[in-house]
Structure 1
Amino acid sequence: METWVLITVAAAFLQNVRSSMQKHLKGVMGTTGATFVRFGFGLPFALLYLVLLWRVGGHQLPVPNGTFYLWAVVGGLAQIAATFLLLHLFSFRNFAVGTAYSRTEPAQAALFGLIFLGEKASQGALIAIAISVVGVMLISVARTTLSARSLVTSVLSPTAGIGLLSGTFFGLSAVSYRSASLALEPSLPQPDYLIQASFTLGFVILLQTIIMLIWIVARERDELKRIGAAWKPAFVVGFVGASASFGWFAAMTLQQAAIVKVVAQVEMIFTFASSFFIFREWINRLELFGCLLIVLGVVMLLVI
């Protein structure tokens, strides 16, 4: 099995852990605070990974250029917007439909990859992307009471719009991170996906932390107290989140962002495994069918 696949599966597992804990934090602080925790508490670990690769692993540090800075800034801002919108969905009673639309990220990443990088996905890859996206969207609405009419009208609902926009920003950030990481290659003796990914992650998460901190101090200062009161779980979220992000950045340096994001959908499988084996929650038929579609999409992608 290729390296990027193993890295992606590991990152998906870690993201599942981080997402579960971040939802808990959403209950003790606002959307802005829960968004900041992902970046601010992940920063020390992202910088630690970079230092270890450089000083202990002997990897040469890349020299950033204008292209790197452009894509890193675009990706960082897009991810902040995507994360904020996704967390904001949980404040709606009918957030399931919006969450389903946010899962169109792989398809949108494929479009952005074509527009900005000229990366063309094969017909088989596009079919695999479509199958996995449908599977995830089915899972997202599996426990809601939706008729054919409500499904049609939900397309125009505010939650659908927010979810779709969140997926757009996530797709844009993924392609931007790949572009930024690849822009570092000319400054290295040879391609080094680990140091490229770590350097990109370190810069981006530092930028995101500064932006979010300035916003909180200027507009929502009370959030600082809530964040401080929940520093222990936030610390764990930061560690797990930074580890997952490092995996994403490494995988997307090696492979097209859209392809990586399809394999990353196995996160949903981990979610249901946790629900079933740990919390003893049953999975309904639509959720099971959605899981099978995700697996089918991933398998198709890996064998074509």
Structure 2
Amino acid sequence: MEGAWIAFTLAAAGLQAVRTAAQRAVAQRLSPDAGNFARFVFGLPVAIAYLLALAASGRALPLPGIEAIAIVGLGALCQVLATRALILAVTSANFGTGVAFSKTDVVQAAAFEALVLQSYLGPLAVLGVVCATLGVMMMSVRKGERLLGALLTGWTQEAALWGLAAGAGYAVSGVCYRAAALALGGGPLEAAATALALALMLQTFGLSLWLSLREPGSVMRVLRDVRVSGVAGIAGGLGSLCWFSALALQPVAYVRTLGLIELVFSLAISLFVFRERPGAFEYAGLCVLAAGIAVLLLSG
């Protein structure tokens, strides 16, 4: 399945941009935790349907052991916290800025993956990651700001801090999900589908309990709001399916760096849906980001 991870990642990036925009709408109408819950509760049926389809096709599904369940549980918790931080980032300032800072997960994932899985990047791949991350930072510079000053101080903004926190959570969860897929064994698609279904079950149960205690009535409001919440959940479920499949096939840093292409979709959503005009640095950063992704892909 050489090269399949690229197709999975590109599909995941597009779906994630749609999911983030829909979650923003849910969070503004209800709450950040409700927006988070929508992503998981409507995504769970997608994961279960895919798992059943694999089983019906005759594929052998792995049975999760204690180790795999624990790893998935940690990844699921980090993903919930990261998604909440991302929602706070995109609702506290410019949509594109919030998403941009969350993409520092690429560098954080590379470091965490090297520490935990002893999976190291080559020099050319490191160059691609650094270049892509610089492009992301350039895209966060607002109109009228100086590039150097914004790069040095931009991370102190509220949206940037929430974005950085989201990036850390996504970095840890990505490495956990890859570790879980490797621990489950079997075919990569089967391992990815099993890990995803398990993660979404844990996330849906945990968040429904949390909302019942903290925001009574929110669960039912999300379930009734199918038009927006359903879009967030279904796009999130399909996107997660693609992410998990890519992570089962390729190291996290490669997948997350290519996944930065999501910013192209986010920029389009920011422009055409939220009517937020991109600045010159956003377009320049997009070019640097594209160069970084190209270098990473050329590195193998």
**TM-score of the superposed pair, with normalisation by structure 2:** 0.91
Shift of 1:162: 2.8
Cα 1:15–1:58 change in 2 (3 A) is same
Counterpart amino acid of 2:105?
E
Judge conservation of contact 1:49–1:198 (CA < 8 Å) in 2: yes
Q: Which residue is 1:296 aligned to?
A: 291
Distance apart, 1:96 and its partner CA: 6.7
Decide which of 256, 260, 271 is 1:261's aligned counterpart: 256
Aligned partner of 1:165 in structure 2 is 165
Distance (Å, rounded) in 1 between the aligned partners of 2:106 and 2:242? 17
Residue 27 of structure 1 deviates from its aligned partner by 2.0
1:216–1:275: structure 2 CA closer, same or farther, 3 Å change rule?
closer
Instruction: Tell me the alpha carbon deviations over residues 254-297 of structure 1, each in whole angstroms, 9 at most, x when there is no partner.
Output: 00011100001111122334566888976432111111111111
Question: 1:177 is paired with a residue of what secondary structure?
Answer: helix
| Counterparts of 1:278 and 1:175, CA distance in 2 | 33
Contact 1:96–1:141 (Cα < 8 Å) also in 2: no
1:183 match: secondary structure:
helix
Counterparts of 2:86 and 2:271 in 1: how far apart (Å)?
24
Residues 135-164 of structure 1: per-residue CA shift (max 9 Å, x gap): 122213344746755654444454443322
The answer for unaligned runs of 5 or more in structure 2 is none
Moved more, 228-237 or 278-287: 278-287
Task: Give the aligned partner of residue 248 of structure 1.
Answer: 243
Over 3 Å counting, the alpha-carbon distance change for 1:276 and 1:35 in structure 2 is closer
Select between 137-146 and 163-172 the one with higher mean Cα deviation.
Answer: 137-146
Q: Comparing 275-284 with 249-258, which one deviates more in the overlay?
A: 275-284
Give runs of aligned pairs for residues 226-241 of structure 1, distance below 5 A.
226-241=221-236
Are the counterparts in 2 of residues 46 and 202 from structure 1 also a CA contact under 8 Å?
Answer: yes
The amino acid across from 1:301 in the alignment is L
| 2:136 aligned residue | 136
Structure 1 residues 149 and 84, CA gap change in structure 2 (3 angstroms):
same
- Distance (Å, rounded) in 2 between the aligned partners of 1:150 and 1:221: 41
Other structure's SS at 2:134 match: helix
Q: In structure 2, what is the Cα distance between the partners aligned to 1:275 and 1:76?
A: 28
Q: Which amino acid aligns with 1:264?
A: G
CA distances 1:79-117 after superposition (whole Å, capped 9, x unpaired): 000011111124434787665432210110001101110
Q: Deviation of residue 67 (structure 1)? A: 2.2
- What amino acid is aligned across from residue 64 of structure 1 in structure 2? P
1:219 aligned residue: 214
What is the CA distance between 1:198 and its match in structure 2? 0.5
Tell me what 1:10 maps to: 11
Q: When the two structures are aligned, how many residues end up with a matched partner?
A: 298
Contact 2:174 2:252 in 1 (8 A): yes
Q: Distance in 2 between matches of 1:18 and 1:144?
A: 30
Q: Which stretch shows the higher mean deviation, 110-119 or 273-282?
A: 273-282
Sort the Cα spacing of 1:132 and 1:220 in 2 relative to 1 into closer, same or farther, 3 A: same
Hey, what's the Cα distance between the residues in 1 that align with 2:250 and 2:263? 21
Report 1:1-304 matches (<5 A): 2-55=3-56, 57-93=57-93, 99-143=99-143, 145=145, 149=149, 152-185=152-185, 188=186, 192-273=187-268, 283-304=278-299
Cα deviation code 1:148-184 (max 9, x no counterpart): 5565444445444332222111100000000001111
Q: TM-score, normalised by structure 1?
A: 0.89
Instruction: Supply the AA of the counterpart residue of 1:52.
Output: A
Alpha carbons 1:50, 1:198 under 8 Å: kept: yes
Q: Is the 8 A contact 1:71 1:179 kept in 2?
A: yes
For the residues of structure 1 that align with 2:118 and 2:231, how far apart are their CA atoms? 38
8 Å CA contact retained: 2:24, 2:91: no
Aligned partners of 2:93 and 2:265: how far apart in 1? 25
Q: 1:144 to 1:195 in 2, by over 3 A?
A: farther
| Kept in 1: contact 2:18–2:235 (CA 8 A) | yes
Q: Do the aligned partners of residues 255 and 289 (structure 1) sit closer, same or farther apart at CA in structure 2, a change above 3 Å counting?
A: same
